[in-house]
């Protein structure tokens, strides 16, 4: 029963939820049936877990997994309800004349991530205007957008059939909502959009936390004061895993609208930007530096809390010094990304009195003197401090003395992986510095695939290097390469799954 529960939850959160999320980002109507299947699998997975808990003794009292599991179920339900009402309120706010036909554009996928910009806004170039009667009217920007919309709403397309079925089922509820005052509908629509955005993509993080806590509970590690050392390894390793996932996503073209896919940020009008694009006006290096700074400030004393006698040892001081490196490196990275700080660095450069005009990537002088122009590299971020921090984390921890030879070897493995990832990122910066991106399309530097592989694999080995896991490896007579071999193989498979998901999103977007 326990294995069945774990298997079904992994299917739900590793396979179905990412597929549903990719279809939601692509604004595909197929998102809805996949999301319903995801909810069904989660509901079915609860049954064997409840039966097992009622029959088996409680071998791990007060574990987090059981409590957080019910919280996750509530969040999944809220996510689905908010997706339905977000779309219903969008329909209710649309122009009444446009709502008469089931084949009109208001029948978007339930829960599609339109970010309140209008149905299919980012894909088809919609913008909306408020009519004199207080209703919203959606307008297509180009004839190409209209042609794409017609293809999607062809009577033989799967998307059209799904849209029409959903619309017919929810038509009575939409009409009831349409009778409410426009101001109330608008406020409710904003509320549901915000709640859906807060739950949609972070749901993957919630699922990752639940799976990780399930493994910890099933293996019985992290009891009493050992929980702090275990948490330190799990949290830090998870951070590197997710940075590796984001890095691989950037390589495949994710976040290109933010300029994070090694490309120039497209000049999208603010009216057509998603809520996320409006919020993240910074570079990816700024996000990485901010996370490093936050990571350092919150992990100064975590390893020390696991000491049985409560005294500070030399190992505690080593861990604290690494946290200080994260604080300093993160703060340097944040300051380095600040346009104000960088302009102050150039304050002593004598410049002729010239007029300047702004371009999409950087500023150029209007006069003919090329020496007064800002370098092309100014239009792209080459922040060395995130890779500096990761590199020295790997080097320092690879030489970190442990209680057993096996533990030292495992620490050396993930330390070298992280250091290798930082070296490959430095090569990426070197290539980009010599040839800065000049296109809105993703550059896809091949070294970033190696960066993401090293970070994901290093993070997983980092998580498995906690004291109790190492003791279990010793108990079963396994060697130090066991975790390394398993991690390398699983990382390669996981990266192939990410590529499939990104390809699925592209296919759904073109549909």
pLDDT of residue 272: 59
pLDDT of residue 117: 38
pLDDT of residue 174: 66
Q: Please state, in angstroms and rounded to a whole number, the distance separating the CA atoms of residues 330 and 285.
A: 10
Q: Please state, in angstroms and rounded to a whole number, the distance separating the CA atoms of residues 241 and 204.
A: 13
**In the structure, what pLDDT confidence band is assigned to residue 142 with cuts at 50, 70 and 90?**
very low
Phi, psi of 136 (to 5 degrees): -100, 140
Task: Indicate the SS3 state at residue 6.
Answer: helix
The stretch 237-265 carries a mean pLDDT of 91
- String of b and e for 466-484 (b: at least 16 CB within 10 Å)? bbbbbeebeeeeeebeebb
pLDDT of residue 391: 95
Within a 10 A sphere around the Cβ of 181, how many other Cβ atoms?
9
Q: Please state, in angstroms and rounded to a whole number, the distance separating the CA atoms of residues 74 and 18.
A: 19
Q: Which residues contact 339 (CB under 8 A, 6 or more apart)?
A: none
For the chain, counts of helices (H) and of strands (E): 19, 4
Rounded to 5°, the CA angle 387-391-393 comes to 120
Q: Please state, in angstroms and rounded to a whole number, the distance separating the CA atoms of residues 274 and 295.
A: 28
Within a 10 A sphere around the Cβ of 497, how many other Cβ atoms?
12
Q: Which residues contact 327 (CB under 8 A, 6 or more apart)?
A: 293, 296, 297
**In the structure, what pLDDT confidence band is assigned to residue 94 with cuts at 50, 70 and 90?**
low
The tokens for 46 are 């609860």
Q: Please state, in angstroms and rounded to a whole number, the distance separating the CA atoms of residues 379 and 360.
A: 8
Question: Could you give the C-alpha distances from 222 to 68, 310, 460, in angstroms and in order?
Answer: 16, 17, 17
The tokens for 257 are 């609208």
pLDDT of residue 458: 95
pTM of the model: 0.80
SS (H, E, C) 242-289: HHHHHHHHHHCCCCHHHCCCCCCCCCCCHHHCCHHHHHCCCCHHHHHH
Q: Please state, in angstroms and rounded to a whole number, the distance separating the CA atoms of residues 2 and 6.
A: 6
Cβ atoms of 165 and 156 closer than 8 Å: no
Within a 10 A sphere around the Cβ of 229, how many other Cβ atoms?
21
Instruction: Check residues 341 and 413 and name the one with the higher pLDDT.
Output: 413
- Mean pLDDT, the chain, integer: 79
pLDDT of residue 413: 93
Q: Please state, in angstroms and rounded to a whole number, the distance separating the CA atoms of residues 174 and 188.
A: 14
Q: Please state, in angstroms and rounded to a whole number, the distance separating the CA atoms of residues 243 and 298.
A: 18
Please write the tens of the pLDDT for every residue from 28-86: 888 888 988 999 999 999 999 889 888 888 888 888 888 888 899 899 889 888 888 78
Task: Indicate the SS3 state at residue 181.
Answer: coil
Q: Please state, in angstroms and rounded to a whole number, the distance separating the CA atoms of residues 424 and 454.
A: 9
Side-chain half-sphere exposure of 503, counting CA atoms within 13 A: 6
Task: Give the residue extent of every domain in the chain.
Answer: 2-198, 223-346+376-510
With left for phi above 0 and alpha for psi between -120 and 50, is residue 107 left, alpha or beta? beta
Cβ atoms of 97 and 248 closer than 8 Å: no
pLDDT of residue 279: 57
pLDDT over 90, % of the chain: 30
The tokens for 301 are 């004393």
Cα dihedral 194, 236, 446, 384 in deg (nearest 10): 90
Give kind and range of the element (H or E) at residue 31.
helix 31-55
Residue found by looking up tokens 């955005």 in the block: 197
């Amino acid at each position: 029963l326990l294995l069945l529960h774990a298997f079904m939850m992994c299917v739900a959160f590793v396979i179905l939820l990412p597929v549903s999320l990719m279809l939601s980002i692509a604004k595909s109507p197929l998102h809805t049936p996949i999301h319903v299947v995801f909810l069904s699998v989660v509901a079915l997975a609860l049954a064997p877990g409840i039966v097992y808990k009622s029959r088996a003794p409680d071998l791990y009292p007060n574990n987090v997994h059981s409590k957080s599991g019910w919280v996750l179920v509530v969040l999944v339900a809220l996510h689905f309800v908010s997706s339905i009402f977000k779309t219903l309120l969008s329909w209710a706010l649309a122009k009444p004349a446009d709502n008469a036909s089931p084949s009109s554009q208001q029948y978007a996928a339930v829960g599609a991530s339109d970010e309140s910009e209008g149905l299919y806004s980012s894909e088809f170039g919609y913008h909306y205007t408020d009519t004199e009667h207080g209703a919203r009217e959606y307008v297509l920007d180009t004839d190409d957008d209209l042609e794409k919309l017609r293809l999607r709403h062809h009577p033989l397309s799967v998307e059209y059939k799904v849209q029409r079925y959903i619309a017919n089922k929810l038509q009575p509820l939409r009409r009831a909502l349409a009778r409410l005052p426009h101001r109330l509908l608008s406020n409710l629509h904003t509320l549901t959009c915000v709640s859906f955005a807060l739950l949609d993509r972070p749901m993957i993080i919630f699922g990752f936390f639940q799976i990780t806590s399930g493994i910890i509970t099933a293996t019985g590690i992290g009891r009493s004061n050992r929980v702090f050392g275990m948490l330190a390894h799990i949290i830090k390793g998870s951070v590197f895993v997710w940075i590796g996932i984001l890095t691989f996503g950037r390589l495949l073209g994710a976040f290109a609208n933010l300029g994070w896919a090694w490309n120039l940020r497209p000049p999208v009008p603010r009216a057509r930007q998603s809520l996320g694009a409006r919020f993240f006006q910074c570079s990816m290096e700024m996000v990485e530096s901010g996370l490093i700074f936050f990571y350092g400030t919150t992990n100064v004393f975590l390893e020390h809390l696991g000491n049985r006698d409560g005294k500070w040892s030399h190992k505690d001081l080593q861990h604290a010094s690494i946290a200080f490196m994260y604080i300093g490196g993160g703060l340097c990275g944040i300051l380095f990304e600040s346009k104000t700080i960088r302009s102050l660095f150039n304050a002593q450069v004598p410049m002729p009195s010239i007029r300047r005009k702004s371009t999409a990537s950087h500023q150029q002088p209007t006069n003919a003197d090329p020496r007064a122009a800002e370098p092309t590299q100014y239009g792209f971020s080459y922040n060395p401090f995130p890779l500096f921090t990761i590199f020295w984390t790997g080097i320092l921890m690879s030489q970190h003395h442990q209680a057993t030879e096996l533990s030292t070897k495992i620490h050396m493995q993930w330390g070298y992986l992280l250091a290798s990832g930082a070296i490959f990122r430095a090569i990426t910066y070197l290539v980009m510095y010599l040839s800065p991106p000049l296109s809105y399309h993703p550059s896809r530097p091949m070294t970033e695939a190696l960066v993401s592989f090293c970070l994901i694999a290093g993070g997983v080995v980092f998580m498995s290097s906690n004291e109790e896991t190492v003791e279990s490896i010793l108990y079963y007579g396994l060697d130090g390469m066991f975790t390394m071999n398993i991690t390398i193989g699983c990382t390669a498979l996981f990266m192939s799954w990410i590529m499939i998901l990104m390809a699925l999103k592209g296919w759904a977007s073109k549909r």
